[in-house]
Amino acid sequence: MYKNLMRVLAICIPLSTMLNCECMVSDNEQVATEEETENYPFKKSQSQLANEDVVGIRVKDNKIILLGNNYTFSSENTSKAVNFSDINFFTKYPNLISVELCGLTLTKEIMENLRKHLPTTVLSIVIDMCDVKDIESFSGVINEHTQLKSLTLRLFKCSAEDAENILSSFTEHSKLKFLNLGFATLNNNAMVHLSDVISRSKDSLKHISLAWENSEEINPDTYQKLSDSLKESSGLKRFELAVMSFPQNYLKIFFGALGHMQSLTDLKLFFGNTAEYDNVTLYESTEVLQTSLDNMPLLASLDISESHLSSEPLQLIFRSVANMSKLQTLNISGNSLDVKAAEVLSTSISSATELKTLLANECDMTAEVFGALCRNLANTGLRYLYFRGNQIKDGAKSLPISSMNDVLIIDFSQNDMSYDNAMDFIKQTANHPKLHIVNFKNNSAIEALSGPERAIRNDELVEWKIKNYASTRQVSYFGL
């Protein structure tokens, strides 16, 4: 089940964020290969990094990746598994501040070596999808490094008791800025320890990401304690919570706590079992969420993807969008939209003047629903539109693209469109000042065209583009 949780969580935090650094990569910079995208914003170094330039080490399988202070990286394969037995492994990098262990089997030997040799200059530790064989030694490494400011533990193979023991080792950590924790399950004691961890760093925490599949029986006071610890962290900028199974009776507690996080700029929420909730309880809880969202004046990104919410709760959330003066990104993918919800969203988007990105993939949108969504999008500042995996068909022409002058990218893939449907939309893009990419890939009716038919239609498209586009600009229509 944890694979499903990781898919919906989809949190990718670059080293620069974890260390509270600033990093910008210009639009025209490209990451070298698909494998190397995991190192974003780092770029492949043209040569081996000098030891004094190394600020981070990532060990994955038998591969060591060195991350540089100028946002470059180099990698090397080793002939045997790394066990950190040599103190020189760390000391030869005098400016090392981050260590990442990904997909390793963490034996007692490895953890004891880390305990002895890991330098106190390290401010960030990432343990991602590792198999921990000795919880006591593992906890010892965490407990002894109280200087940490960033901690990521994604350990979905641990039991509730293991999670309890690990969280109980955070006894002296009070300077955490970034906390990313993922477990398979939590018991009551583990949840209490989690609350204490958050409370001790309440004045420094800027980013919290929490994920678990389910929890053993938790008493109400414990949920309230966790909620209270979140309320105390008033300086939070980013909060992410993803839970596969969450008791609906405690939704109001968590949603109410969000209203105290008025410094939030990014919010991601996922509850995997909302389909099992009582409709009345879910609606009442979402009313609390709506009130909290209205109290987040700085929110720039809202992500409720894959939560499979019904129309009524969605309408409440969408109404809040109109009040989010800073909102730039809205991700509603994986929630089923009907005409009413789409109308409410459309109206709110027209008031959200800073909104640039809308992700509405796999929202069960028909042509009618898509038409309702498009009703108020004219003259908005939207740039990036993602509608993959719906049933828009001939509804694409409803998008008022001729009066959406800031749009750069549109994704219409997997929408059961025909070539005629695509051309009906394309003809509305004549003389558009900025449009760069429209994706029509994986539309079955287009892919079903025979070779000669496709050649004829593609010739028509080329002829149309020559007549309607300036020679200095070229729009790419993928899939045609």
Convert the pLDDT of each residue in 365-397 to its tens digit.
999 999 999 999 999 999 999 999 999 999 999
* 359 strand-pairing partners: 331, 386
* 310 strand-pairing partners: none
Is the predicted pLDDT of residue 29 greater than 50, yes or no? no
SS3 state of residue 258: helix
Q: What is the pLDDT of residue 5?
A: 54
> What band does 19 get if pLDDT is binned at 50, 70 and 90?
very low
CATH number of 300-480: 3.80.10.10
- pTM for this predicted structure: 0.88
Convert the pLDDT of each residue in 449-466 to its tens digit.
988 998 999 899 888 888
Q: Which structure tokens are listed for 345?
A: 């969203």
Mean per-residue pLDDT, 431-435: 88
Q: What is the pLDDT of residue 11?
A: 45
Q: Which residues of 270-307 are buried (b: 16+ CB within 10 A; e: fewer)?
A: bbbebeebeeeebeebbebbbebbeebeebbbbbbbbb
Q: What is the pLDDT of residue 22?
A: 32
Mean per-residue pLDDT, 227-236: 92
Instruction: Quickly list H helices, 276-326.
Output: 279-293, 311-321
